[in-house]
Amino acid sequence: MEHRYLGNSGLKISEITYGNWLTHGSQVENDTATKCVHAALDAGISTFDTADVYANTVAEQVLGDALKGQRRESLEIFTKVYFPTGPKGHNDTGLSRKHIMESINGSLSRLGTDYVDLYQAHRYDYETPLEETMQAFADIVRAGKALYIGVSEWNADQLRAAHHLAKGLGIQLVSNQPQYNMLWRVIESRVVPTSKELGISQIVWSPIAQGVLTGKYKAGQPAPAGSRATDEKGGKDMITGRYLDDDTLTTVAKLEPIAADLGLTMAQLAIAWVLSNDNVATALVGASRPEQVESNVAASGVKLDAEVLGRIDEALGDLPVTDPSNTKSPETRLV
């Protein structure tokens, strides 16, 4: 497992991060989730990402239980705040000082740790002054409850404003967590250049496009049993209608010979492609089975040269989405 610095900081993280969105507390049973976490540890993954909203706080609890007994100093644990949790009352959402302060305490308790390495704003909150949000984050850092601050799916202007406030408050905004993969490239034109200028890394989610880039979904064929597209607990909603059309699947199939020439699985090729962007610090991968973790980790350290990257672009043509306006947060809080 190789490691990369997170933003303009001295913190190193594994370039493959284990994430438990849509899996822990939902798609897989707790004992399987624990086996997946242990497989990640055995494979050299030291970085784990979750959020309070995943399975309405249960995912944090499952991850915390799975990591019990591990040396805390050898891990990097990330979580997030913004979306509604608990009973989802009028203050159980957003980035107000009240919700942030209450949420960090809940997350630490569920994760079984005194601090998280990175605390992230899961979306931008248009209903709370950014100054209030950043002051709350600064107070959490000074209290030792978080070491660094990050955000998720913020656009370039929002990153710039938050970075300015963080610098004035004496804290480090080191990361953004966007969706990014061969088919979804909306961060490339604005978010990535701005992030490079400001010393912010990308922590990429959905590097295999909810499984579409693994090649297991075929045009004109039903989704494989047990795949995310058949998961009625949330996974199906995230993939159906976005990627599972015959045109997309036919185009994705053109990547198969490229992966085969490199001796890689389709998933490994997709993860290696994401990591070829030098602004990406790590790619988030989830798993419903331990062997998925072991396979995905093999993408660490794979270098794709310019010829391969060109072949991928040629194969995909104009299929990838690139419009930067697709980087956006809800205009109102979701309650």
- Residue type at 106 in one-letter notation: G
Helix or strand or coil: residue 240?
coil
| Cβ contact 110:61 at 8 Å | yes
Two tokens at 6?
């997170």
Helix or strand or coil: residue 119?
strand
Q: Phi first, then psi: give them for residue 150, nearest 5 degrees.
A: -140, 175
CA distance 288 to 295: 12
Which residues, other chains included, contact 305 with Cβ-Cβ below 8 Å and sequence gap of 6+?
A: none
126 noted as active-site residue: no
Phi-psi region of 88 (alpha: psi -120 to 50; beta: other; left: phi over 0): left
Q: Please pick, among 54, 82, 119, 217, the residue that the annotation labels catalytic.
A: 54
Minimal CA–CA distance to 255: which of 201, 293, 309, 302? 309
Active site residues: 54
